[in-house]
Chain A
């Protein structure tokens, strides 16, 4: 087991489609997290930004952009890019610096302003860029990959689109009273079924939107947290693992998988291996979880995650859902925040937002969406090009 670090402050700028500069959102989230931690910006000695690639140079150097916005204080700085996993990569940078004894108080910020519609590659002709080529040669958008994963659940496990709709209905209900969620309204199964098909079998309401938003956390050593009277919530593990060769599940944004002609595929695929590494580091297992925040880019993908984090065996996720196990009040609520279904994705902020939610849950501050007696929480997602992202927190 690895020594824990403390989460002493969390903060967010509400998700939405505000159309403003990402720096302002980040500033709001950072100040909220500092305020929550009860520490001054001048005491932060390491600041890490989650990079955004759609906001010019300021986004490429998000760490220093945030430091400048808060007012240069001389802190050391880093910026992390790992696509959807950028936030946990940034948290990992702060955690390891704290554990190495090189830093006392670290601020981690992720903020984004996103365009309308499908996430598209940056402009220009790039015939050697797989992310560009999948659009140019095939027209394979992100939802096309989600559609293929969903279809496998149907053809291999007998899942039905009504199961997928049920995930949306659940998450919409979870997010109803979340002040930071973009969508706060009940959604019925009929509404999901009546929304247009985007990438068969997924409909518009099965697929998460892209949003503006920001999230921030303040981390410290356990000793420092105790001194500040804020040692309640601890990060027990951060898993940023890469796949093992050959990775035989088609991953966004690749046109092809690895070949398993000469080396057999590993016993465990990439997604389950992300959680396994975190469980091992934290010294806990799926049965210890009180809640999980998983990356529901699509409704069907949330069901894949149930299996990948070990809540049930492959093909059993629909049963878990129908039994109410993953609904608030159930055995292991998943996405009590409302998940991406209620937030929409703000890429560099999302993994940090997951950690904010688990922190509120473990403190008992989640209001109407509180998981009673929450002791251990897990966040998980996956970034393009082989980025694992899983954080385990406990009281």
Chain B
């Protein structure tokens, strides 16, 4: 078997303290995710350099929901038959950015509320060995 690898290159680390990789403008300090921007999104800044930087591993839930029906392709379900999963949008500080992700397996909407603290984890995205980031409730 091949080693488990991120489903997409360069968006997150997979070490014991995994983090999303964003970009930060060295001129004005604006962050960006995903790390694909080649210029600063701040209209008052003309920087054409954005530097990769790990983002905060913990944040607070901006909102959340779940998928009770299987989303259409290109989504690939982890199991057959489909098992519902939860989704959370999480606000990170000091980046002041909200980032979407699935909620870690084993957790559902009942484990969440707006403002709840969550932590980044890395889990298989589907039945394959590909990995993706997810948000795990800290149980506050």
> B-contacting residues of A (Cβ < 8 Å)?
117-118, 120-121, 123, 125, 127-128, 132-141, 144, 147-152, 155-156, 196-202, 245-246, 248, 250, 254-263
Provide the bound-state CA to CA distance between A138 and B65, in Å: 12
Taking CB atoms, residues of chain A closer than 8 Å to B43 are 245
B8 / chain A contacts, CB cutoff of 8 Å: 127, 133, 137
Q: Which residue of A lies closest to B30 (CB)?
A: A262
Bound Cα distance from A152 to B61, whole angstroms: 10
Task: Point out residues on B near A: beta carbons under 8 Å.
Answer: 7-8, 25, 28-34, 36, 41-45, 62-69, 71-76, 85-87, 89, 94-102, 109, 113-115, 125, 132
On chain B, the residues within 8 Å of A148 by CB distance are 62-65, 87, 89
User: Contact between A135 and B75 (Cβ–Cβ < 8 Å)?
Assistant: yes
**Which among A125, A135, A257 is the interface contact of B71 at CB below 8 angstroms?**
A135
Could you tell me if A137 and B87 are in contact, using CB atoms closer than 8 angstroms?
no
- How far, in whole Å, are A135 and B115 apart by their CA atoms in the complex? 25
**Chain A residues within 8 Å of B65, by CB:** 144, 147-148, 150-151, 199-202
Q: List 19 other contacts, CB 8 Å, given A117-B72, A199-B65, A246-B30.
A: A120-B71, A125-B74, A135-B73, A135-B75, A144-B71, A147-B87, A148-B65, A151-B65, A197-B68, A245-B42, A246-B96, A250-B62, A255-B99, A256-B99, A259-B41, A259-B97, A261-B29, A262-B25, A262-B45
| Interface SS, A side | loop
Is A120 a contact partner of B73 (Cβ separation < 8 A)? yes
The CA-CA distance from A200 to B40 in the complex, in Å, is 35
Contact check, A151 vs B28: say whether CB atoms are below 8 A apart: no
Whether B74 contacts A135 by the Cβ 8 Å rule is yes
Candidate in A117, A128, A138, A257 with the most chain B CB atoms within 10 angstroms? A138
Instruction: Tell me which residues across on chain A come within 8 A of B29, comparing CB atoms.
Output: 261-262
Query: Which of B33, B45, B87 is close to A256, meaning CB atoms less than 8 Å apart?
Result: B33
A370 to chain B, nearest CB (A): 37
Residues from chain B with a CB closer than 8 A to the CB of A245 are 41-43
Which A residues touch B95, using CB under 8 A?
Answer: 259, 261
Q: Which of B42, B86, B109 contacts A262 (CB 8 A)?
A: B42
Contacts of A117 in B (CB 8 A): 72
**Contact of B97 with A263 in the complex, beta carbons under 8 Å:** no
Contacts across chains A and B counted by CB atoms under 8 Å: 146
Partner of B67, one of A139, A155, A263: A139
A263 touching B87, Cβ below 8 Å: no
Asked whether, in the complex, the Cβ of B125 is within 8 Å of the Cβ of A141, the reply is: no
List 11 contacting pairs A-B, 8 Å CB cutoff, sorted by A. A118-B69, A127-B8, A140-B100, A147-B87, A196-B68, A197-B66, A200-B86, A245-B43, A246-B30, A256-B34, A259-B97
Residue among B36, B69, B114 with most chain A CB within 10 A:
B69
Structural contact, A263 and B42, CB atoms closer than 8 A: yes
- Closest 8 pairs (CB-CB, A-B): A147-B65, A155-B114, A120-B72, A148-B63, A259-B31, A260-B96, A139-B71, A136-B74
Q: What are the residues of chain B within 8 A of A141 when measuring CB–CB?
A: 67, 71-72
Within the assembled complex, what's the spacing in Å between the Cα atoms of A132 and B129? 20
How far in angstroms is the closest Cβ of chain A from B52?
A: 14
Give chain A residues whose Cβ lies under 8 Å from the Cβ of B99.
Answer: 255-257
Q: Is the CB of B100 within 8 A of A134?
A: yes
Contacts of B63 in A (CB 8 A): 148-149, 151-152, 155, 250
Instruction: Chain A residues near B32: list those with CB within 8 A.
Output: 256, 259
B98 CB → nearest A CB, Å: 4
- Quote the shortest CB–CB distance from B13 to chain A (angstroms): 16
Chain A residues whose C-beta falls within 8 Å of the C-beta of B98 in the assembled complex:
248, 250, 256-257
Contact A263 B66 (CB under 8 A): no
A203 to chain B, nearest CB (A): 9
Output the least CB separation between B12 and chain A (Å).
11
User: How near does chain A come to B21, taking the closest CB pair, in angstroms?
Assistant: 12
Q: Most B CB atoms within 10 A — which of A125, A132, A196, A263?
A: A263
Q: Among the listed A118, A127, A199, A248, which residue makes an inter-chain contact with B96, where contact means beta carbons less than 8 Å apart?
A: A248
Q: Is B87 in contact with A140, judged by CB distance below 8 angstroms?
A: yes
CA distance A120 to B75 in the complex (A): 10
Cβ-defined contact, B33 with A199, below 8 A: no
B90 to A: closest C-beta gap in Å: 10
- Nearest B residue to A253 by beta-carbon distance? B100
Could you tell me if A138 and B72 are in contact, using CB atoms closer than 8 angstroms?
Answer: no
| CB-defined contacts of A118 to chain B, threshold 8 Å | 69, 71-72
B75→A200 contact, CB < 8 A = no
- Complex Cα distance, B26 from A222, in Å, reads 53
Question: Given A120-B73, A152-B114, A250-B89, are A255 and B33 neighbors across the interface (CB < 8 Å)?
Answer: yes
B66 contact from A137, A147, A196, A260, Cβ within 8 A? A147
Task: Give the distance in Å from the alpha carbon of A139 to the alpha carbon of B97 in the complex.
Answer: 20
Within the complex, what minimum Cβ distance (angstroms) separates B6 from chain A? 10
B136 to chain A, nearest CB (A): 15
| Residues of chain A within 8 A of B72, CB atoms compared | 117-118, 120, 135, 141
